[in-house]
Structure 1
Amino acid sequence: MILKKITKLPLLLVFAVVLQMQAQKKPYNGNPDTSFETARKLAFNDQRKQAQDTLVNILTKYPNYSDIRTFLATTYAWDGNYKKARKEFAYVIKNDAKSHENWVAAIKNESWSNSYYDAITMADNALKVSPDDAEILLLKASALENTTKQIEALEIVEAILEKNPNDTKAQEYKASLNQTLRKNTVGLRSSVDIYSDVFDPMQYHTLKLSRLTKYGSVIAKVNFNRRFNENGTQFEVDLYPRIIKGLYAYMNFGVSDSFLFPDIRYGAELYKSLPHSLELSLGFRSLQYTTTTNIYTGSLGWYTGNNYWSVRPYLTPGDGGLSTSGTLNYRRYRSNADNYWSTTVSMGFSPEIYQFKVDNNENTIVNLQSQRFNLGYYFTTNKNRNAWGAQFDITHQEISFDPGSYFWIYSFTVSWDLRFK
């Protein structure tokens, strides 16, 4: 008798599930406004699953009831189901691109999911519809702050206050930015290369001081290198001037009186933001030893959610013909642009990447074969005041004076930046 009851129990459960599925498939025939109000009460009383079931049911008959779909998307965002929320927001924005509430909720969803670059892109699209929307401008500023573009965020807030000095939200956000904005950075970076053959370990150290201005970043560096039982020093300056919206440049100049570095190095590159969170760049580098090596490069980067992909080729003309190489980089961001994992794969030899991993025979280095894998982890502490980094490289490289023979290079790097006002 007990066995019969046990065998009947699964059948009852299956029967109950079938009835529930049939009930869910039953067309909605109620009053959408009344049901919507009921769903809102459920959602605000921590019964979001029941609220979402009700909202989905209403939408089976009224798919373009945008307030219901927006609220459904918002509940998904509250639950951390940002992908589902993104799909629903995309639907309502496509059908009503002029709705301020839809844009605001959709941008918040991207920021809550730490997809700050997508939030910026979405805010730009919203501002095409409403260029002076202060709330959307503040959301964009917040996303920019989380991508370490605090100066741009501050400029947006100041523009809001210029038009409306009594905007309390903008006033509060500006005060918050000014408290946390650190325009100066001092940093240290140290690396060691360990060779499987031929060479003793080599060391590289960099001390830098940078200043963030409204025109862009200025970085002064002192590089110290110990190789072949010799020491060498190089002085460098990097500039990242902002030209116009969506266009900025990289410029570099360095000098040294040590054979361990180029006598002079310089370079420049232009970066242009493109639609769909893409970024394109074109530039060159020049390294002057006893002869000059010119390197032509560029990059295509793509921000998608918390991910960043970048591909960069290097073209180096030389006596032996044109040398080609390239790198593929992937980053997985966490809370902001200073917290991420990074992986890089490189093929071919470029003096720009490997300028220290050679024996200074600049006439042959561009023809070397090399493969490299890099893994990095970067994080911040003390309210983003300290930025830390650790990298591990493994390189399989052809020996310049013994073509066809290779050694392995194992590299370890640590870095630390301290930001201050």
Structure 2
Amino acid sequence: MKKTIFLLLFSLTLCGFAQEKEFKGDPDRVFKVARDMAFNNQRAQAQDSLLLILTKYPDYHDIRSFLASTYSWDGAYDKARKEFSYVLEKSPQRLTTWEAAIKNELWSESPFKALEMSKKALKQFPNNPDILYLKASAEDASGNKQEALKTINNSLLLHPNHEKTLAYKTSLISDLSLNTIGLKSSVDLYSQVFDPMQYYLLKYVRQTKFGSIHGKLNVSHRFASTGAQFEVDAYPRILPGLYAYLNFGVSNSFLYPDIRYGAELHKSLPLSLEASLGFRALKYSSTTTIYTGSVGWYSGNSYWSFRAYVTPGEPKASKSGTLTYRKYRSDANNYLSIAAGMGFSPDIYRFNFEGNEDEIINLKSQKFNVGYYFTSSNNKNSWGVQAGVSHQEISFDPGNYFWIYSFGISWDFRFR
């Protein structure tokens, strides 16, 4: 409280000084107070104080460099660039000023200027790990992750324990790992009627500049039979904040649709919201079309999503919905997922309808699932464990239900 009152009184005093053309006072004392003001949401008053000191002490580089930093924090990148240039021309051996000046260029989305400055700084401070880190950041921001990784590797040869550089290398390798192979195995255990049903998935994912492409082989063992389905999913980017989902699959097994296909548009919205709208089509003896859409909301490390399915039919359309919550940890690959849903949708139902689509899609169903997903320290390996329970109406005995207990594990491996 006393410090706040002091800063207020001091700022009023400085207003009086500001009426003068030249600073009169102790520059070190005023600089200290101005710094405190800058860090206490009084940036404009602090900048006025620093400018006033510089009228008498133009080469007090600590003050001018700090002034430039405050401009940079405020997004006044051109003003910051001017002050940084003045200091570095007069005193090129100021490491902290080089670092702040390069960050100013990165924050202003001028990565090529940042790269040029980092090269100049390295002439003054050869192999400095912090400057090399900023150089790699500039290379990364200018779209050259390979060069950034090369810079990081060279830096680690000289400074193997530099924590920021080690963490950045892990991030770059993850970004450059454009290929993923994955395996998933799950089982459904029924309280009555059916024997356990097994499901397996083998996938290959390739990241491209247009979006990701997923090739999948689904294998099921059900009803004493084994069948397979081949699928391709694509997520093409259309515009910033707008991408699509495209799907096509084929099978010659009665355990899967003969053909399945679908499409959906996903759009980012203000207030950390996103929405999607699309359809799925499954061809057995006839074709069933399912319309679907979702709404998602990001809040800090949490994500909420509601997805609905509507399947036209007689005597009425079938409706179902699932609410999902995710709690993220270090990144998007490390999270806890909880989902609860009601209603039936043939897009996620795993049986052949055998021509009884209209009756089956109106079955009652409730489900609850939980999953935990985590990665190795280098982000190359990802694992997941899933468990769930469903309360499903029996198709040939309406009004009676069985319980389905589901368990699954998954593994993904990313590589370059």
TM-score when normalising by structure 2: 0.65
Conserved? CA contact 2:111–2:139, under 8 Å: no
Deviation of 1:275 (Å): 2.3
Choose which of 395, 405, 411 in structure 2 pairs with 1:416.
411
Q: Which runs of 5+ in 2 are unaligned?
A: 12-27, 49-69, 81-103, 116-135, 155-168
- Is residue 284 of structure 2 the alignment partner of residue 289 of structure 1? yes
Choose which of 323, 336, 342 in structure 1 pairs with 2:318.
323
Conserved? CA contact 1:344–1:374, under 8 Å: yes
Q: Which residue of 2 aligns with 1:222?
A: 217
Choose which of 357, 362, 368 in structure 2 pairs with 1:367.
362
- Structure of greater Rg: 2
Q: Which amino acid aligns with 1:271?
A: H
- Segment drifting more, 358-367 vs 265-274: 358-367
Conserved? CA contact 2:284–2:353, under 8 Å: no
- Is residue 411 of structure 2 the alignment partner of residue 402 of structure 1? no
Deviation of 1:366 (Å): 0.9
Assess, with a 3 A threshold, how the Cα gap between structure 1 residues 158 and 316 changes in structure 2: closer, same or farther.
same
The 2-side partners of 1:134 and 1:354 are apart by: 52
Q: Which amino acid aligns with 1:160?
A: S
Deviation of 1:363 (Å): 3.3
Assess, with a 3 A threshold, how the Cα gap between structure 1 residues 334 and 26 changes in structure 2: closer, same or farther.
same
Q: Which amino acid aligns with 2:220?
A: N
Deviation of 1:271 (Å): 1.2
- Is residue 301 of structure 2 the alignment partner of residue 306 of structure 1? yes
Assess, with a 3 A threshold, how the Cα gap between structure 1 residues 383 and 258 changes in structure 2: closer, same or farther.
same
Deviation of 1:34 (Å): 3.9
Deviation of 1:98 (Å): 4.4
Assess, with a 3 A threshold, how the Cα gap between structure 1 residues 195 and 278 changes in structure 2: closer, same or farther.
same
The 2-side partners of 1:244 and 1:333 are apart by: 26
Assess, with a 3 A threshold, how the Cα gap between structure 1 residues 241 and 27 changes in structure 2: closer, same or farther.
same
Cα deviation digits, residues 233-272 of structure 1 (max 9, x gap): 1111111112222221111111111111111111011112
Query: How many aligned positions are there?
Result: 316
Conserved? CA contact 1:254–1:266, under 8 Å: yes
Deviation of 1:35 (Å): 7.1
- Is residue 230 of structure 2 the alignment partner of residue 235 of structure 1? yes
SS at match of 1:321: coil
Deviation of 1:350 (Å): 0.8
Q: Which amino acid aligns with 2:390?
A: T
Assess, with a 3 A threshold, how the Cα gap between structure 1 residues 354 and 160 changes in structure 2: closer, same or farther.
same
The 1-side partners of 2:204 and 2:152 are apart by: 28
- For the aligned residue pairs, the C-alpha RMSD in angstroms reads 3.9
Q: Which amino acid aligns with 1:342?
A: S
Conserved? CA contact 1:24–1:57, under 8 Å: no
Residue pairs, 1:20-419, within 5 angstroms = 23=2, 28=7, 31=10, 34=29, 37=32, 62=42, 65=45, 98=76, 132=110, 160=142, 172=151, 179-180=173-174, 181-356=176-351, 361-419=356-414
Percent identical residues: 53
SS at match of 2:263: strand
Cα deviation digits, residues 121-167 of structure 1 (max 9, x gap): xxxxx99x956577999xxxxxxxxxxxxxxxx9x9677369xxxxx
Q: Which amino acid aligns with 2:394?
A: I
Q: Which amino acid aligns with 2:244?
A: A
Assess, with a 3 A threshold, how the Cα gap between structure 1 residues 301 and 234 changes in structure 2: closer, same or farther.
same
The 2-side partners of 1:295 and 1:101 are apart by: 57
Conserved? CA contact 1:28–1:57, under 8 Å: no
Q: Which amino acid aligns with 1:255?
A: V
Deviation of 1:304 (Å): 2.2
Conserved? CA contact 1:316–1:366, under 8 Å: yes
Assess, with a 3 A threshold, how the Cα gap between structure 1 residues 35 and 200 changes in structure 2: closer, same or farther.
farther
The 2-side partners of 1:159 and 1:24 are apart by: 41
Assess, with a 3 A threshold, how the Cα gap between structure 1 residues 337 and 161 changes in structure 2: closer, same or farther.
closer
Deviation of 1:276 (Å): 2.5
Conserved? CA contact 1:306–1:334, under 8 Å: yes
Assess, with a 3 A threshold, how the Cα gap between structure 1 residues 198 and 58 changes in structure 2: closer, same or farther.
closer
Q: Which runs of 5+ in 1 are unaligned?
A: 1-20, 41-53, 69-91, 103-125, 138-153, 163-167
Q: Which amino acid aligns with 1:248?
A: Y
Deviation of 1:225 (Å): 0.7
Assess, with a 3 A threshold, how the Cα gap between structure 1 residues 237 and 66 changes in structure 2: closer, same or farther.
farther
